[in-house]
Structure formats: structure tokens, C-alpha cells
Amino acid sequence: MQPQFTIRPVSRDLDAALQHKIDNKTKPLGSLGQLEKIALKVGRIQNTLSPNLSNPHMLIFAGDHGAATAGISAYPQDVSWQMVENYLRGGAGANVFSRLHDMEMVVIDAGVAHEFGEREGLINAKISPTGTRNYIVEPAMTREQCETALMRGAGFVRDVVGKGCNVLGLGEKGIGNTGSASLITHLLTGEPLETCVGRGTGLDDAGLTHKRALMQKALDRANLPADADVMTVLTEFGGFEIVMMVGAYLAAAEAGVTILGDGVIATSALLAASRIEPHVLDYVVFCHKSAEAGHAVQLRALNADPLLDIGMRLGEGTGAMVAYPLLRAAMAFMNEMASFESAGVSKNVR
């Protein structure tokens, strides 16, 4: 049984009026390119001719993966908790970009194998104190844990929406989570495993070959049918941080929030969310194309055209944050740029 969310398709009632407003700004038709598409999309999401972005948030979900101990990452598992400490000190890339763009950043411990104690800026939402189990030899989590993680992720979004947030990005941290993302992508798209598995934190050729072999071993162990439902896929191969992101995406769309799509881990969660409720995609602005293998597979499956392709593959929501000023620019031209009529400028008559 899949979780139930009520996500309405975005309204197209104002499409003609939105396009008229965009086209009648003092510029040649289409000359602001993707900014015009952003303005139209956010106008649809908010069902208004004057869309705005308020109280932007970035939620970063952190969790450990039992499979990391098998050597699927170039970094040791301890880096997960060490990076959480870096977030709390304000020193990570996510901190830098969130400060730059005045985004509220919240760090959520979904299941890091480390005890942080009570810390300002960190929410303890551990599903398990040791992270997921090793999905190469057994399911990553129980169905109950999967359902709990999903609903907790949804709850965090409902909290920030209650504070006036209408634009939201999701980021993640968890050594080994590109492995989970690769398996989820392979199973939900049907694309070959090899095209879904990348170097993650920087594996060399031998490391990549080893990682792919371990991913195949995990698939052979689970032996899922081709039509396995998404909750089964997440239970077998997900991370607690990934499953919380699935719930967060669903709750954000349910609340009518504009969602900032990020890289390969975040998009694996979005892919899963779209299999639960396809209309979640109506609310997503795809911010960038990650250099990590598998993201191109995901973007094709979701028919997505990201705003940026600048070689980023850090994760942590950083691609979404780097692209966020483009959304602000789209709102600015939509709300502040003069029309031909108001400026007394002649339009192209051809």
C-alpha cells in the first residue's frame, strides 16, 4: 500500500494571461529565454499573474548507508557525521550558498551513525542510530521504517510551509548514497545498471568497476520483479535521507510549494515521489544537470530541461542554490519590468 497525498495538477486557467504579461514586457518575444519559462511555471504553481518567492528554505537530510562499509565510496563512512559537523559550523558549500542567497538552511539527521547530542541547527529525526543495513546482503530497512521516514520528511516540509515558505530545495549527505540512487534509478526507469552507476565521491576506474559489481550483487540478492512498487524498491535499497526526501517532495507539492530540483541523489527521491504521485512534477523547477552518471538518465525519464549545466556534482542542494537567483530574476522581471503600454514603447508590428 502506497502513502496517500492529495496533489492537484497545477492550474492552466491563467496560462493565456501569464503568457500575455510575459510577452508584453519591454523586450523582444522570448528574449529572456528560460527566465520566461520559470515565470510561467511559478505563475501556474501559485495561480497568479504576480508570483513571488517567500521565505526560501533548504532542507538537508543526512543518513548513513550500511553498504558503504563494502567499499562503494572513495570516502570512509565517518565523513557523513564529519560533514554534518561542518554544516553546523557553517563551513560547507551548502552553508556558503544558503547565506549568499538568504535561504534558511535546516539540517536533519535521518540516521547518521553518530550521536551529536542536542545541537542548535540540527534536528534529530533518526530512524535508526546506525543508519540503514547493508543492502548488498539484506534489505536496507523494514517497510515500517520506510513508511516512518517518508512521513517524517513530509512533516518537516509542512512545518516550514507553516512559516510562510513557498519555495523549497532539498539536499542530502550520506557516504554511499549514490549507490542507493543508482539502484533506485535503474529499477524505476529500466535503464541499464551501468549507465546509472557513477563515480560518486571520486572513485577511480577500479573502484567504479567494484561499485558496479556490488550494485549487481545487491540486485541479484533482492531479485525484485520488473514491476516492483516504489515502496518496495525504497525498502530494499533506499537510504533514510532519500526516503525522507520522497515524503518531503510529496508534501511540498501537496502544499503548492515551488520545488528546486537538485542532483542525482535528490532526483532519485523525486523519481520515486513521481511514481507515487505523478503531479509532483508540476511543482518542480529542475535547477541543474549533475555531472554524476545517472542524472542524465533521471532527467530523460522525467522529461526535464534543467536550467544549468556547469559540471557540478557536489550534492547538498548546492546545484539548486546556485540556480536560485535565476528564479529571483524571473520574479523580478515579471513583477517590475514595464510593459510596452506602461512605458509608451512601440511594439514590433511584424
Catalytic residues: 316
The two beta strands, 122-124 and 57-63, are unpaired
CB 326 within 8 A of CB 306: no
* 3-state SS class at 27: coil
Dihedral (CA of 132, 133, 137, 141) sign:
negative
Q: What is the DSSP letter of 283?
A: G
* 3-state SS class at 322: helix
Rounded Cα–Cα distance for residues 152 and 154 (Å): 5
- Supply the angle between the helices 205-222 and 230-237 in degrees, to the nearest 10: 120
Q: How far is CA 277 from the centre of its chain?
A: 15
Picking from 249, 219, 230, 218, the residue whose alpha carbon sits closest to that of residue 189 is 230
Rounded Cα–Cα distance for residues 259 and 320 (Å): 9
